[in-house]
Amino acid sequence: MNARLTALSDPSLAPGEARCPGPSTADIIGAETDQPPAALTEQSYHFLGDSDLPFARYTSRSFFDAEIEKLWSKTWQWACRVEHLQRPGDYFVYDVGPYSAMIVRGADEEIRAFVNSCPHRGMQFFDAGSKGSGKQFFRCPFHGMSWHLDGALREIPCRWDFPHVNDADFGLTELPCDTWEGFVFVSFDPDAGSLADYLGVLPRHFDEFAYPLRDRYVWLHMKKVLPGNWKMCMEGFLEAYHVLATHPEGLRTAGDANAQYDFWGDHVNRFVHTVGYPSPHLPKQLTEEELFASLGHDPQTLPPGKGARQAHAELQREAMGRQLGVDLSMVSNSQMLDSIEYYLFPNACFFPGIGIPLIYRFRPIDVDHCIHEILMLRPKPANSSVPPPAEVIELDMDTSYKTVPAFAATGLAHVLDQDTENFFRQRAGMKASRKAGQTLGNYQEARIRHVHRTLDKYLNR
Ligand code: FES
Ligand SMILES: [Fe+2]
């Protein structure tokens, strides 16, 4: 263990000012000869307080109910990809808690969202999580009333029995719906503000990355129930502090304690966690040859005078470019290699990286369980047709990600297994605790505090 990292923090520093000794993420990325997107070197952190965060926020049924009532009914959430709705009549159902939306591409090509509930006696038109195509109209399976794809009433069987119904007032209930980067967003709040305002810095930042997410396709889509409150599980992916104990095999090639954490406004936060740079926790620095070997290469082949991270990025650019059928020559080292994770409140993470192109989404089931989806978005190949979005692969709580061969081949499956195995214990430990709450690091766990600060704003409205 690096002794400098276990030394007490400097008392002359104000809370939140302390950082891991040695090169920062900004130092590492800033020293590279390529042109990283300016968004990557932007820093936006301030101290958010250091009081304990009550465990009841994760274990209390009434807290969970308040979230359903005041949070999930109000925020924008991505529901599906535009590719799921390619032709008029394609539809996709998005559910969270008791809320359900059916999103459809109309005959006029517009994408709209409606409450998935029949205006007659409340029947759901479609099952949770379902999708389909070729709809000319929505017909309720109970009594057969139907609505056009734009939500207008089409037909009421035995119309004579409903003289009190005015056609114009009997449309489907439309919900706010908009798109960003190929994701279709919906809000269950009819008075939701604009999606653009909600997204804050995200559009500006993502415009700077090569192969924007709108130019990618869903290569892999997995879904797993996790044994924990949605926030507890999600927060396991918002910090790199746990790499030391949970993913120790990554220490030779991943900057963890020197990862960068930022937040902007209420809805967006980020970490940038370098890959191809050794952890500050290592007791002694690796030579460039040792680092190159740890990255899976023959150390004898490291070109003289070239750093291991640079050489690794060049090799990755070439190999992945060939594999994906795209030109990656304009992609910065950082976008090529690093774990760059942007979070959008309340439940989604978007990685603009090419080597780590993940999307996460967390949805509550009950106070003790949630659904975690993992998508991988690859650049659309230049000279061949774009595959349709991958079908969802569902995994049981106890099934390893290694059982998904495509995911195992990325090298990420064992990491996700390590992450998800923690949750059984953390859930039990939170309930067993005699301490009122969890104690967070001021910098490395600031994103968790940021999530809860925003959560409180919604709960206190
Ligand atoms: S509940 Fe839908 S037609 Fe009756
Ligand atoms: Fe992890």
Within-domain flag for 50: yes
Query: What CA–CA distance (Å, rounded) separates 399 from 377?
Result: 23
Q: From the CA of 140, which ligand is nearest?
A: 1
**Residue 145 CB less than 6 A away from ligand 1:** yes
Query: What CA–CA distance (Å, rounded) separates 81 from 98?
Result: 22
Q: Are residues 154 and 292 in the same domain?
A: no
Cα of 87 to ligand 1 centre, how many Å? 26
Q: Are residues 295 and 231 in the same domain?
A: yes
The last residue of a domain, from among 137, 155, 187: 187
Map residue 349 onto helix, strand or coil: strand
Q: Side-chain half-sphere of 388: how many Cα atoms within 13 Å?
A: 6
What average pLDDT does this structure show over 335-348?
98
The backbone region for 414, taken as left when phi is positive above 0, alpha when psi lies in -120 to 50, beta otherwise, is alpha
pTM, whole model, 2 decimals?
A: 0.97
**Residue 140 CB less than 6 A away from ligand 1:** yes
Q: From the CA of 145, which ligand is nearest?
A: 1
Cα of 411 to ligand 2 centre, how many Å? 13
Look at residue 421 in the predicted model and tell me its pLDDT. 95
Q: Are residues 51 and 91 in the same domain?
A: no
Q: Are residues 247 and 214 in the same domain?
A: yes
CB 274 within 8 A of CB 260: no
User: At residue 394, what are phi and psi to the nearest 5 degrees?
Assistant: -95, 135
Cα of 46 to ligand 2 centre, how many Å? 24
Structural domains in the chain (count): 2
Q: Model confidence over 292-341: pLDDT tens digits? A: 999 999 999 999 999 999 999 999 999 999 999 999 999 999 999 999 99
**Residue 118 CB less than 6 A away from ligand 1:** yes
**Residue 155 CB less than 6 A away from ligand 1:** no
Map residue 196 onto helix, strand or coil: helix
Task: Of 452, 387, 446, 453, give the one whose Cα is nearest residue 15.
Answer: 446
3-state helix, strand, coil in the chain (%, to 5): 30, 25, 45
- Block residue for tokens 């620095």: 285
- Assess whether pLDDT exceeds 80 at residue 9: no
Name the token pair of 105: 């591409």
- Assess whether pLDDT exceeds 70 at residue 422: yes
Q: Are residues 175 and 241 in the same domain?
A: no
Ligand 1 atom at shortest distance from the alpha carbon of 118: 2
Q: How far is CA 380 from the centre of its chain?
A: 20
Cα of 271 to ligand 2 centre, how many Å? 13
34 pLDDT tier (thresholds 50, 70, 90): confident
Mutate-to-test residue for ligand 1 from 115, 124, 140, 147, highest number of ligand atoms within 8 A of CB: 140
Map residue 314 onto helix, strand or coil: helix
Nearest CA to ligand 1 atom 1: 121
Name the token pair of 284: 């002694």
Find the CATH number of the domain harbouring 228: 3.90.380
Strands 392-395 and 216-226 come out as: parallel
Within-domain flag for 9: no
Q: Are residues 106 and 36 in the same domain?
A: no
The DSSP string of 201-255 is THHHHHHTSSS-GGGEEEEEEEEEEESS-HHHHHHTTS-STTHHHHSGGGTTTB-
**Residue 121 CB less than 6 A away from ligand 1:** yes
Q: Are residues 145 and 293 in the same domain?
A: no
Mutate-to-test residue for ligand 1 from 137, 143, 165, highest number of ligand atoms within 8 A of CB: 143
Nearest CA to ligand 1 atom 3: 143
Question: Facing residues of 212 across strands?
Answer: none
- Assess whether pLDDT exceeds 90 at residue 232: yes
Cα of 154 to ligand 1 centre, how many Å? 13
**Residue 143 CB less than 6 A away from ligand 1:** yes
Can you give the residue range of the structural domain that contains 138? Answer: 76-187
Contacts of residue 293, defined as CB under 8 A and 6 or more positions apart, other chains included, come to 299
Name the token pair of 422: 């923690």
User: At residue 191, what are phi and psi to the nearest 5 degrees?
Assistant: -105, 20
431 pLDDT tier (thresholds 50, 70, 90): very high
Q: Are residues 177 and 90 in the same domain?
A: yes
- Assess whether pLDDT exceeds 80 at residue 6: no
Cα of 285 to ligand 1 centre, how many Å? 69
Q: Are residues 52 and 139 in the same domain?
A: no
Nearest CA to ligand 1 atom 4: 143
- Assess whether pLDDT exceeds 90 at residue 7: no
CB 210 within 8 A of CB 40: no
Within-domain flag for 166: yes
Contacts of residue 405, defined as CB under 8 A and 6 or more positions apart, other chains included, come to none
Q: Are residues 237 and 168 in the same domain?
A: no
Look at residue 183 in the predicted model and tell me its pLDDT. 98
Task: Of 354, 118, 25, 105, give the one whose Cα is nearest residue 215.
Answer: 354
Cα of 86 to ligand 1 centre, how many Å? 28
Within-domain flag for 454: yes
Q: Are residues 164 and 25 in the same domain?
A: no
Query: Would you state the torsion angle of the CA atoms of residues 326, 327, 331, 335, taken in this order, to the nearest 10 degrees?
Result: 20
Find the CATH number of the domain harbouring 155: 2.102.10.10
Instruction: Give the E-state strand segments of 286-436 in sequence order.
Output: 339-344, 348-350, 358-366, 369-379, 392-395
- Block residue for tokens 């960068």: 260
Q: Are residues 106 and 226 in the same domain?
A: no
